[in-house]
Amino acid sequence: MDKLTLTRMQFYGYHGVYAEENKLGQRYYVDVEMRLPLDKPGRTDNIDDSINYADAYAVIKEVVEKRTFKLIEALAEQVASSLLETYTSIDEVTVRVIKPHPPFDIHFEGVTVEITRRRVIS
């Protein structure tokens, strides 16, 4: 399956278990890999045959910056669900959410959650 990837998108969100995280917020990084057939847009050179990644970015930004979740697992799940609902051409999506500065005294480069969801065929 072909893949369209949006890498290291940066957003400011208010997610976390602790009240101060929901009040102060912080930067989050999101990677998204969308698996879908890209042969037609490759032949036609027509954006209508593909996914406009500026529009996909707007869908992701809406979830990350306008909603609040306690867990980045829930954030990743909602990003995946929103993309699968918005774009019926996506067969599978992988979402990676990186929280670079969790609010505890451990020195590392952050915590990452990665999920993969497939379109359910009924």
Catalytic machinery residues:
99
| Residues 41/49, Cβ–Cβ less than 8 Å | yes
| Residues 72/99, Cβ–Cβ less than 8 Å | yes
Q: Is the dihedral of CA 30, 3, 48, 119 positive or negative?
A: negative
Task: Give me the DSSP letters along 56-100.
Answer: HHHHHHHHHHH---S-HHHHHHHHHHHHHHH-TT-SEEEEEEEES
